[in-house]
Amino acid sequence: MKKVASVLEANYKKYNKPNFIVDDPISIPHLFTKKQDVEIMAFFASIFAWGQRKTIINKCNELVALFENKPYDFIINHEEKDLKRFLEFKHRTFNTTDLLYFIAFLKHHYENYDSLEDAFLKGLKPNDKTVENALIGFEEYFTSLEYFPARTRKHIASPKRKSACKKLNMFLRWMVRNDKQGVDFGIWKQIKTSQLLMPLDVHVERQARILGLISRKQSDFKTVLELTENLKKFDKNDPVKYDFALFGMGVNQKVFK
């Protein structure tokens, strides 16, 4: 395990640097300084995060332009006629119906709360060791508005459906981790880094299996719990920092031997 620990630590330090940002969807929220703008575009960037990273970034930039470079201001102050500009927007299976509901939900939320963090605190209990209940509570809250379209449910995963919840876990990593390295934002203070769960994508999963950090054959929520628990052996307070190592090694095809 010492060798695994050294590999993880070395690659965490290697990839947790600002130059990592350029080719990653996290570059989108880094375009902004206002807290709510960062939250909104980080949320969209994480939801769009499947497929080629270049395409994800391009679609996010297209959305930023539709928001006239002021996502929060648009969401809070737009009128019905302003939504016509979004009618042609599409990213893979994410279509206009989905986008219009996302905008409506965000408007509803920000009219009642200052931060999107509050949406994840609804399900979180004081003694929770992980964000599992936060994820469940967020999905229930997100889908609760009376005009929620059933087709949009597929874009917000939940542990209740055994999903790995990769996108939301990645979003939470961005918002919560604060190691002052210039990549993650660390602007949310009520969720602990020790509660975060690993974003499980194909690159992370492949490297984690090579390193013996996953034994389950499935790629579901229990697998995420298993991986995160094993990573806590190396850093109990910040296990998700090793997302940088596993993802970076996976993308660059660095095979551990």
pLDDT digits (tens, 9 = 90+) for 109-161: 999 999 999 999 999 999 999 999 999 999 999 999 999 999 999 999 999 99
> Of 102, 101, 86, which Cα lies nearest the Cα of 43?
102
Task: Give the Å distances, CA to CA, from 21 to 30, 50, 183, 210.
Answer: 8, 17, 7, 26
Q: Is the pLDDT of residue 257 over 50?
A: no
Task: Identify the band that residue 50 occupies on the pLDDT scale cut at 50, 70 and 90.
Answer: confident
Q: Is 69 left (phi over 0), alpha (psi -120 to 50) or beta?
A: left
Average pLDDT (181-199) is 97
Cβ(223)–Cβ(200) below 8 Å: yes
Query: What is d(CA 226, CA 152) in angstroms, rounded to the nearest whole number?
Result: 29
Residue 106: both structure tokens together: 């965000």
pLDDT confidence of residue 253: 65
Domain total for the chain? 1
Query: What is d(CA 9, CA 234) in angstroms, rounded to the nearest whole number?
Result: 9
Residue bearing tokens 């628990």: 229
Query: What is d(CA 238, CA 192) in angstroms, rounded to the nearest whole number?
Result: 9
Task: Identify the band that residue 1 occupies on the pLDDT scale cut at 50, 70 and 90.
Answer: confident
156 part of a folded domain: yes
Query: What is d(CA 190, CA 206) in angstroms, rounded to the nearest whole number?
Result: 32
Residue 114: both structure tokens together: 């200052």
102 part of a folded domain: yes
Query: What is d(CA 63, CA 35) in angstroms, rounded to the nearest whole number?
Result: 18
Task: Give the Å distances, CA to CA, from 65 to 18, 40, 68, 147, 164.
Answer: 24, 14, 5, 26, 31
Query: What is d(CA 182, CA 17) in angstroms, rounded to the nearest whole number?
Result: 7
CA angle 214, 223, 198 (to 5 degrees): 90
Backbone angles phi, psi at 78, to 5 degrees: -65, 155
Per residue in 198-237, pLDDT tens? 999 999 999 999 999 999 999 999 999 999 999 999 999 9
257 part of a folded domain: no
CA torsion 45-51-52-57 (nearest 10°) is -20
Amino acid, single-letter form, for residue 173: R
Look up the domain containing 42 and give its range.
Answer: 2-251
83 part of a folded domain: yes
Q: How many residues in total does the chain contain?
A: 257
Residue bearing tokens 């995160």: 228
Residue 27: both structure tokens together: 């570059």
Query: What is d(CA 157, CA 162) in angstroms, rounded to the nearest whole number?
Result: 9
Q: pTM of this prediction?
A: 0.96
> Of 245, 250, 209, which Cα lies nearest the Cα of 53?
250
256 part of a folded domain: no
